[in-house]
């Protein structure tokens, strides 16, 4: 896979609007973010902007009892197109949280555009230990400068062969990059491909979070009720994620660390059904404090070099910002909000 170097990334980013949007940003950060992102969307889609200029309807208020859920978009910072989509959805209230990948070359500029949402959404760290470049040297975990694929990491975790000392240093690096760019501690922490729940890694996660994160920062639990897993469209994969992460859930409960009590949104990205139906099925997960994971994004000319999941991200983005999504939530008595506030 052709990974982007720092100079190439900087060159691509230099094509984005600068002087005018910085002036707008000082006057109204959220409005400036939207204006800049719209210009970028046009450039990335060769002028075929997928966003209409008509105002989107606000989320309808459910008429009966309300079930509040967290909708968290993963992989923020991986590519500019993902950032544009996530910020748009945050601005519209269609998601209430995002998890950031801080080791890559796009993070500093993407963090600047995310900062206006601090205090309005849950902004967290997406601990990355697979498939990407690490934030610093990892001679055993990433001897060639590239983190291992998920199957290799899982196997090493189950066999007790992970370089946990090196992983702990890398986690500190990624946390440092989050705090340096955002000026705050993460509101929450989870893992790219759910690696934070793997044996050994979860011990590192608990130790580092106890030392560095405030008690109000929550950690994502990936458990889900068996009854839900049996019926879920991607039930087998969701069951594997729940099984591998069960130990972390036990640790979170024992330590009294804040966490979501229910989880859904796992998918294969090859499902034949529309994403709206997948999201509606995700709401079947019972329990309070449900966190639904999603992966919206725009397919820019960078994403395909960094991650195999491209077009399903656009389908998620278009669904989450659609009128149909708003109506479905209202019909189901669901409201989107932050986990702890």
CATH at residue 101: 3.20.20.370
For residue 69, the 8-state DSSP code is E
101: closest CA among 255, 307, 252?
A: 307
Residue 102 lies inside a defined structural domain of this protein: yes
Q: What share of the chain is helix, strand, coil (3-state, %, to 5)?
A: 45, 10, 40
Low-confidence residues of the chain, pLDDT below 50? Answer: 1-33, 47-57
> What is the distance between the alpha carbons of residues 71 and 33, in angstroms, rounded to a whole number?
21
Is the Cβ–Cβ distance between 324 and 272 less than 8 Å? Answer: no
For residue 196, the 8-state DSSP code is G
Q: Domain of residue 102: give its range.
A: 6-336
Whole-model pTM: value is 0.85
Pairing type for strands 290-294 and 262-264 reads: parallel
pLDDT of res. 231: 75
Phi and psi angles of residue 290, each rounded to the nearest 5 degrees, phi first: -70, 130
> What is the distance between the alpha carbons of residues 203 and 249, in angstroms, rounded to a whole number?
12
Contacts of 171 (CB under 8 A, 6+ apart): 127, 204, 205, 208
Residue 95 lies inside a defined structural domain of this protein: yes
pLDDT of res. 43: 57
**Alpha helices (runs of H) in 130-286, residue ranges in sequence order:** 150-158, 164-182, 201-212, 226-231, 235-255, 275-282
CA distances from 42 to 36, 47, 113, 186, 300 (A): 10, 4, 18, 31, 11
> What is the distance between the alpha carbons of residues 317 and 276, in angstroms, rounded to a whole number?
11
pLDDT of res. 37: 67
pLDDT of res. 214: 96
pLDDT of res. 105: 96
Residue 212 lies inside a defined structural domain of this protein: yes
Q: Tokens for 20?
A: 């005018």
Residue 299 lies inside a defined structural domain of this protein: yes
Tell me the chain's radius of gyration from C-alpha atoms: 19
pLDDT of res. 7: 44
Residue 1 lies inside a defined structural domain of this protein: no
Residue 341 lies inside a defined structural domain of this protein: no
pLDDT of res. 182: 98
Spell 191-230 as b/e; 16+ CB within 10 A means b.
Answer: bbbbbbbbbbbbebbbebbeebbeeebbbbbbbbeeebbe
Number of domains in the chain: 1
Residue 117 lies inside a defined structural domain of this protein: yes
> What is the distance between the alpha carbons of residues 230 and 252, in angstroms, rounded to a whole number?
25
pLDDT of res. 62: 57
């Amino acid at each position: 896979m052709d990974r982007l170097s720092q100079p190439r990334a900087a060159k691509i980013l230099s094509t984005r609007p600068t002087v005018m949007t910085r002036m707008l940003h000082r006057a109204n950060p959220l409005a400036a973010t939207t204006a800049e992102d719209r210009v970028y969307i046009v450039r990335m889609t060769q002028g075929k902007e997928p966003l209409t200029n008509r105002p989107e309807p606000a989320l309808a208020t459910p008429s009966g009892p309300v079930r509040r859920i967290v909708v968290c978009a993963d992989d923020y910072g991986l590519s500019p197109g993902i950032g544009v989509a996530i910020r748009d959805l945050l601005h519209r209230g269609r998601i209430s949280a995002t998890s950031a990948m801080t080791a890559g070359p796009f993070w500093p500029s993407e963090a600047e555009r995310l900062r206006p949402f601090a205090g309005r959404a849950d902004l967290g760290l997406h601990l990355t230990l697979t498939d990407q470049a690490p934030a610093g040297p990892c001679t055993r975990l990433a001897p060639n400068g590239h983190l291992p694929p998920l199957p290799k990491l899982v196997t090493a975790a189950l066999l007790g062969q992970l370089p946990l000392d090196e992983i702990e240093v890398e986690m500190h690096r990624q946390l440092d990059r989050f705090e340096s760019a955002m000026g705050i501690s993460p509101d929450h922490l989870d893992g790219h491909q759910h690696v934070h729940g793997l044996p050994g890694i979860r011990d590192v996660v608990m130790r580092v979070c106890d030392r560095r994160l405030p008690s109000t920062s929550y950690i994502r639990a990936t458990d889900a009720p068996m009854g839900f897993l049996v019926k879920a469209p991607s039930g087998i994969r969701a069951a594997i994620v729940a099984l591998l992460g069960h130990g972390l859930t036990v640790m979170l409960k024992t330590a009294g660390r804040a966490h979501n009590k229910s989880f859904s949104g796992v998918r294969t990205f090859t499902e034949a059904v529309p994403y709206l139906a997948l999201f509606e099925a995700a709401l079947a997960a019972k329990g309070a404090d449900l966190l639904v994971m999603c992966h919206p994004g725009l397919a820019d000319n960078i994403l395909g070099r960094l991650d195999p999941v491209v077009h399903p991200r656009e389908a998620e983005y278009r669904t989450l910002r659609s009128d149909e999504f708003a109506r479905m939530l209202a019909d189901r008595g669901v409201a989107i909000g932050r986990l702890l506030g």
